[in-house]
Amino acid sequence: MKKIKLTFSKKILLLLFASMGFTILFSSFFIDYLYSKIYLSSIEESIIYEGQRTASHYHYGELSDEIIEKIQWYNIISEYEVLVVDDLEQLSSYFPYKVNYETLVDADDRETLESGTYVVKEGFVEEFNREIIGAIFPIKGEDELIGFIYIYVPLAALRDVFQESIPILVFMGILFFFTLFFVMNHFWQSIFTPLKKLQQQAVEVSQGNYAGRLEANSDDEIGQLSKTFNLMSDSLEKQEERKKEFTSNIVHELRTPLTYIRGYTEALKQKNYSTDAQADDYLTTIEKESARLNKLINDLIELNHLQENFYSLDIQPMAIAQVLFDTIDLFSIHLDEHALTLELDIQEDLIINGDAQRIQQVFYNVIDNAIKYSTTKGTVYIGLTEKKDTVQFQVRNYGIVIDHEDIGRIGERFFRTDKARTRTTGGTGLGLSIVKEITRLHDGHFELMSTKTDGTTVSIQLPKLKEEV
């Protein structure tokens, strides 16, 4: 059996029609309830009250002609039909009709009446062509029953009871459905128009077109959905741009060493060199470019692992100053080559919880960048100080000033401030990306500032080890 699939709009329509049907059904039941519970109950209570009061007036003596005349006079002024008889046999001659196609008084009714209790009779009378409700009341004498009073009234039809109310009900019903129509139409437009646009835009996004945006003028759920969709489109558009830039960057980074390796390998195969020393230079270049290519691949793998939290850090209390001193010692030759002066401000008693190997990698990458981009005979400042509940590591140089619009992109894959990508500084463009990820994994904070007067400063704050009481 094929399963019926309903769209969201059809479900809303189905809900609307179901609500209308339920409203009509409820109204019918409610009117029937008013008829049966209020109208019929009030008539029955009134008949019982009048019957008991009338019967109680004639509890003495015999059922004389005077008493019968008084009851008949009451019959004239009353809205009810009142019959008075000496015995039940006479009642059938005064009221020769069947109620619900049965005799008015059966054996059980006789027994009840003879015990002095009234009997309520309700049902359809074919001769009247309508329902009637009535009651038979025994009249007690001094020693025995002296007669019976039968009070009944034909019931008004349902439409008669609510005759005055029907125009109001019809008017209110029409007004209700028109109001419901306009409300639902506005509701329909406010929901499905944005949803259709959202569907169209989703198709555009699925085809790679991220430029379109949805109007989000309302603050309801649809408006919030449109705003969220716009944010998603923005994010996808930026990711697409970064993807293209990443592809371009990695092609550039891979092409250069591969070109060198291929060129010098071809030269060696064809023996296009004049001396053995020149051949050794070719081999040295191939070796350097292979190492650079290998470092690029390793850095990419490491960065991916850091971003995907594949690495489990070996977190232990560590004397961070000692790690920094060991890292600085690795740059002594580079400092001499650039004739740089090192300015240190290091507190040696600082302790943090961290992975010593990863923290040293942070120090190395930041200091390496500071030396590469420093001016010759300049100064490199390295600080490690306590700042509230953190340990702050700072490196400052006075080399190339980073443009303000580039500061926010520092740490992106392959992003470099030297747009020409000269090979004088080397590197893969992934160093600070790795620094930011390691800092994040240590619950730290990375910040970079660059001005002509104050130079370029990298600040990294790491949580200090809390003393246990």
CA dist 78 and 46 (Å) reads 12
Give the lowest-confidence range in 29-38, 216-225, 424-433.
Answer: 424-433
Residue 104 above 90 pLDDT?
no
CB atoms within 10 A of CB 437: 23
CA dist 274 and 5 (Å) reads 80
The one-letter code for the residue type at 160 is D
- The per-residue pLDDT of the chain, averaged, comes to 78
Answer whether 463's CB lies under 8 Å from 442's CB. yes
CATH code given to domain 8-161: 3.30.450
Return the pLDDT at 385.
93
C-alpha separations of 55 from 70, 75, 104, 224 in Å: 12, 13, 19, 76
Burial 261-279 (b: 16+ CB within 10 A, else e): beebeeeeeeeeeeeeeeb
Burial 23-52 (b: 16+ CB within 10 A, else e): eeeeeeeebeeebeeeebeebbeebeebbe
CA dist 311 and 68 (Å) reads 110
Instruction: Identify the CATH class of 189-309.
Output: mainly alpha
Q: Quick: pLDDT tens for 244-270.
A: 766 666 676 677 678 878 888 888 888
Q: Which of 366, 296, 355 is nearest to 331 (CA)?
A: 366
CA dist 16 and 181 (Å) reads 10
Return the pLDDT at 421.
45
Most confidently modeled range among 59-73, 209-223, 333-347: 333-347
Q: Quick: pLDDT tens for 295-342.
A: 777 767 766 666 666 666 778 999 999 999 999 988 888 888 888 999
Domain ranges in the chain? 8-161, 189-309, 312-463
CA dist 259 and 429 (Å) reads 19
Give the residue, 393 or 60, on which the prediction is more confident. Answer: 393
State residue 308 phi and psi, 5-degree precision: -95, 10
Superfamily of domain 312-463: Histidine kinase-like ATPase, C-terminal domain (3.30.565.10)
